[in-house]
Chain A
């Protein structure tokens, strides 16, 4: 997997930081601000002294001016748990270029960025169930491990994100950021799964990967379409009207997902698998507010 990035690109990645719109409490002090006030150098606020407070934090200068005891509050810096959920169903290996390639690149990039920022990264592979799980890794030493895990993933089986995400509940280690990378093309949908993640206090980001042929099919004539996962067939006469209806359907589908995500405070981005990775990392993701 290392050959996905050259050194120059890795350096540029280092400058990017994952931002989470809400600050999450973590187990270890990290480089990320936490909504909990704690021991850091960054001043946050004052509050009245109450008995039991550590009087090391009393602001004596204020006491001198006002003869009242105030306690200084500081922002506590915590580490972040990034959970990457990658769809490894058969449909992800379809497309030109295959969606799995970009999915792996993204997972690799996010885990690199997170680990480089002293955050923790866990990776879950989802198909009809939770296919594989990498427990949280920490520090730059985890990068190799994460990439190795990603490199060993095989794309097969059908998709049932709800089921897979529900199974993740067993491994949940507290609040964090959940990044779901999938084509979302599943009759079961993903809403229940995402809602479950939110229940697990995850800030969810959904990246929908679609192949160009899925976004804008160029079929012509009579076709028997075979589902890569279920093997089911569907006969169509590809007319311009049908293709138009398909595009309309896709737009509606995307819009419904976007709407769902917006209402639940979930980040959502649909990406073509043909999008150059650099453009995605350096432009699209920052623009969507997923990367700073």
Chain B
């Protein structure tokens, strides 16, 4: 117990004053009685048998002194250092990031944080409310302003630890919006201090207290595991970091497609890092796994997976004097690497492209690949041209075609177009007033033909244009365009293949999940490991692997830290421990009141 106002103890001077008053007060009234003989006998008896009666005789004085002492104590404002004292609402932020998995405290940082919050719940007084917020990658309100302890305990119990980072700023922004109009709020952050750095101060006005969880820092982590194909050779690179304060030695094991490939012993200085490179991995390797054998406080980041990169990238060559519209639309396509050249520099020997785009120009011989021809020049050997058509509108689909999915061409207009005669190897996709505008067909490869210069139409400005290009490229390069994955920490963003009929997701250590259209666009990937996504495309299955690793320089560095919050730090230093004080003066005042009542009763009874 400490005092907020030690100067209040100066009021203790009132105590001798009371005694003095009491002495003055004890002025005896005189009374003549027949004889003091009996009284003397009585007093002699009482003093002889019960010496403490002398004290009891002054019961009133003692009660008054006690009341005075309590009053002086109340004036000095004693308090007990507790978390969440007199605030009406307690906002509790519970760190649920990966570093909270660390077992440097029993049972774990997360378990300890839960216990701390449980204690706060137990201490919740009547009329006080608690809001429980989980701080992960996204802040999550577990329980909003509730005074129901059971509800709060249930919410706390049901809270799941995440495997990502803790975004303090997001959590504080949420709190700032929650607490904007409230008063008597106190913010309590239960964390190991490992959060994303803050960029903006959220402007929180209420008192803040930080309960730091965690002690140790011993952790070894694989923070990077990557593969590369280099002229037919597969290379693997692992970066191992020691976040502890001691030099350590550990074995690192590399597995290729589940088979043990190599074990090496590595030595790491305190807070040091090392890169390990493996060469000559099997060319057919699909995935690799690296494992650190040494146990530490955070085992989750002792393993890492990587998917061996495949040569699935398509290369496209745009041969044009300059066509910004096409360039933009093609660059949007995932899995397509666009190269540009001019007709003058076009070299027919360049065969390493899967897609050629010839804009207002055609080479002497067409390459053996997929081709988009825009505004074919007259007199070419493949397409016959029969004059020009002008001011074409009311463009519509010539027939049902998957290339025209999601496209509304009714507002499309073309200022000038060549009148192509549709060759028998092609079919018309779009036409206007009988003039074919877009053809698709099969020569040596798949070919798509725009009959007009894109600059002489409003089509590139229409929302349907990139979709049309996407559809066309998807048709021209089957099986490559469309599906893409992106692993953003604990979520897999996913663009399913347009042709996909079903998707099977295999999470590490879990059952395979089957999805049917419409497909979800993202999956949670909370557990580190290898994720396999199988897409059923007609009679074939396309498999993709994704590696989700726990190793993260931010979360693997488990050494407890203070919060990266400038305002908080400043307050902590300047204001001392201004928070979490349970002031006792109201209780003391109640005690004084009770004492006064008691005193009155004692006086009434004439003790």
Q: Which A residues form the contact surface with B (CB < 8 A)?
A: 91-92, 94-95, 99, 159, 183, 185-187, 211, 213-214, 219-230, 232-242, 245-246, 249-250, 253
Contact = CB atoms under 8 A, between A and B. Distances in A.
Contact of A228 (B33, B41, B42, B606): B33
A235 B28 contact: yes
Contact of A229 (B35, B40, B42): B35
A249 B30 CA distance: 22
Nearest to B28: A224
B31 A185 contact: no
A94 B34 contact: yes
Size category, B interface: 20 to 34
A158 B23 CA distance: 34
Contacts of A245: 42, 45-46
A6 B26 CA distance: 50
B29 A224 contact: yes
A221 B29 contact: yes
B406 interface: no
Given A220-B606, A221-B29, A227 B35 contact: yes
A223 B30 contact: yes
17 contacts: A94-B33, A187-B37, A214-B38, A221-B606, A222-B28, A225-B33, A226-B32, A227-B36, A229-B34, A229-B35, A232-B36, A233-B36, A234-B39, A234-B40, A240-B605, A241-B607, A246-B39
Contact of A224 (B30, B37, B56): B30
A250 B32 CA distance: 18
A245 B10 CA distance: 43
A226 B31 contact: yes
A242 B42 contact: yes
Nearest to A224: B28
B529 to A, nearest CB: 83
Given A91-B34, A223-B28, A237-B57, A249 B41 contact: yes
A159 B42 CA distance: 20
Contacts, number: 97
B29 A185 contact: no
B38 A223 contact: no
Nearest to A226: B32
B38 A183 contact: no
Interface of B: 26-43, 45-46, 53, 56-57, 605-607
A234 B42 CA distance: 11
Contacts of A230: 36
A227 B33 contact: yes
Nearest to B40: A234
Given A186-B35, A186-B37, A250-B38, A222 B45 contact: no
* Pairs A-B, 3 closest by C-beta atoms: A224-B28, A91-B34, A94-B34
Contacts of A91: 34-35
Contact of A211 (B28, B34, B39): B34
A154 B113 CA distance: 95
Nearest to B29: A223
Contacts of B38: 185, 214, 246, 249-250, 253
Contacts of A219: 31
B29 A222 contact: yes
Contacts of A237: 57
Q: Which of B33, B38, B41 has the most CB of A within 10 A?
A: B33
A237 to B, nearest CB: 5
A236 B40 CA distance: 10
Contact of A246 (B26, B28, B29, B42): B42
Nearest to A253: B38
Contacts of A223: 28-31
B41 to A, nearest CB: 5
Contacts of B45: 245, 249
B32 A94 contact: yes
A254 to B, nearest CB: 10
Given A92-B34, A225-B33, A245-B42, 5 more contacts: A224-B28, A226-B32, A245-B45, A253-B38, A253-B41
A183 B34 contact: yes
A213 B33 CA distance: 9
